[in-house]
A = this chain, B = another copy of it.
């Protein structure tokens, strides 16, 4: 059975493990702090790859940023990683096959192949973390678009200039349904220095203001779900990321299905959490190696 070395490269941590065709993690997942320079990241990857090059059939990398359709190059700016990270020549790391995919796309693929979207052909996996990512499956394939960067959830909600988005525009979906968005709601509904943690704690203590902040956040999420259901008509929408655990699934599924013009969908919590990116990108490469 073939196996690959899979990385998940994030702004704070880099995780890696060897994964086989069945999706089994062969060894324990190792996590290290992301080096402060792009050169440091390159050297770290090279060292890790060298250490296991004899036992693997390829290297799979899930990373922030948009990845081209040849899966060998980052084609976007990557905000929370060091300067020039997006210019790294990943293909020079090893003579084995190397395969890159955007982390949210990879996580979506993991849910589609082995997780909460298994058995479907059309699914949307939204990662609700600090920001909002998506992995969208259309007819059993990842939606990539002409360049590879499709699935950017930067859709304007509203015309004012209320919430500045990391993309440079105002009032994108991300500013209303991410973890940071819940902090914004906490500051509006609770107090100027409140955070999303205060909202979650407040919910357990029946704090009315915390409830109001959460309700607004979840109403915005419902709008985002109506959007993806009307556009993609998916069999299932899967929520992953740090915020996914707080969502009221039954309530939201019912509301969404009342509001959409397409046919009813299912709303599910992701099966895989932090390891979805590594798993998904590994499965994508292993499929290509078949």
Chain A: residues with CB nearer than 8 A to chain B? 66, 75-76, 120-122, 138-139, 141, 143-159, 167-169, 219-220, 223, 226-227, 230-235, 259-263, 265
Q: Say whether, besides A66-B261, A159-B158, A143 and B138 are in contact (CB < 8 Å).
A: yes
CA distance A141 to B122 in the complex (A): 14
* A134 → B minimal CB distance (Å): 8
* A23 → B minimal CB distance (Å): 25
* A260 → B minimal CB distance (Å): 8
* A121 → B minimal CB distance (Å): 7
Most-contacted residue by chain B among A231, A235, A263 (CB, 10 A): A231
Name the contact of A156 in the complex, choosing from B145, B152, B226 (C-beta under 8 A): B226
Using A75-B263, A146-B234, A167-B261 as known contacts, list a sample of 14 further A-B pairs with CB atoms less than 8 Å apart, ordered by residue number in A. Answer: A66-B261, A66-B262, A120-B146, A121-B146, A145-B233, A146-B233, A146-B265, A147-B262, A151-B231, A151-B233, A152-B230, A155-B226, A155-B231, A156-B157
Q: Is the CB of B146 within 8 A of A263?
A: yes
CA distance A260 to B150 in the complex (A): 11
CA distance A219 to B138 in the complex (A): 30
Q: Please, could you name 7 A-B residue pairs with CB atoms under 8 Å apart, sorted by A?
A: A144-B233, A147-B263, A148-B233, A152-B262, A153-B231, A154-B260, A157-B158
Q: Is the CB of B154 within 8 A of A157?
A: no
Q: Is the CB of B122 within 8 A of A145?
A: yes
Q: Is the CB of A154 within 8 A of B122?
A: no
Name the contact of A261 in the complex, choosing from B76, B121, B220, B231 (C-beta under 8 A): B76
Closest B residue to A75 by CB, please name it.
Answer: B263
Q: Is the CB of A263 within 8 A of B149?
A: yes
Q: Is the CB of A145 within 8 A of B234?
A: yes
CA distance A54 to B168 in the complex (A): 61
B contact residues around A141 at 8 Å (CB): 139
Q: Is the CB of B159 within 8 A of A220?
A: yes
Name the contact of A155 in the complex, choosing from B75, B121, B155, B233 (C-beta under 8 A): B155
